Amino acid sequence: EVQLLQSGGGLVQPGGSLRLSCEASGFTFSGVALSWVRQAPGQGLEWVSSISGGSGRGSINVFYANSVKGRVTISRDNSKNTLNLQLNSLRVEDTAVYYCAKALRSYSPLDYWGQGTLVTVSS
């Protein structure tokens, strides 16, 4: 059974940092592309970032939404079946539930999702 178990999140002040993690099981982690999608309170889904399957810096591709580019870093640890999202220079508008998700093929569609974790940016 595919499972994506998220951790991290919480309350942080504007300008602060936070690290989200997503531990996967039930599939061959290293070969699958993974993504982060967020949802602000009462709003729709917004893609944040994707990372290709594979291992080694030379063979991995990463993509970021313009809204977070330069402030966010996606990474994966295939030895621990874990996906990470480092959030820096957080803004009030980054407040959202963040979901990790695995791709069925290439980077889309996203066929399994984590339970979501709330990030609140507030002073």
28: left (phi over 0), alpha (psi -120 to 50) or beta: beta
Backbone angles phi, psi at 59, to 5 degrees: -110, 5
Q: Residues 50, 53, 74, 83: which binds another protein (CB under 8 A)?
A: 50
Q: Residues 35, 82, 94, 96: which binds another protein (CB under 8 A)?
A: 35
What is the CB neighbour count within 10 angstroms for residue 39?
15
Q: Does 40 bind another protein (CB under 8 A)?
A: no
Question: Concatenated DSSP letters for 57-101?
Answer: GGG--EEE-TTTTTTEEEEEETTTTEEEEEE-S--GGG-EEEEEE
Q: Print the binding letters for residues 86-115 with another protein: x by CB under 8 A, - otherwise.
A: -------------x----x-xxxxxx-xxx
Applying the rule CB under 8 A, the residues between 64 and 83 that interact with another protein are: 64-66
Q: Residues 63, 75, 88, 120: which binds another protein (CB under 8 A)?
A: 63
Q: Does 26 bind another protein (CB under 8 A)?
A: no
Using CB under 8 A as the criterion, which residues of the chain lie in contact with another protein when the complex forms? 35, 37, 44-47, 50, 63-66, 99, 104, 106-111, 113-116
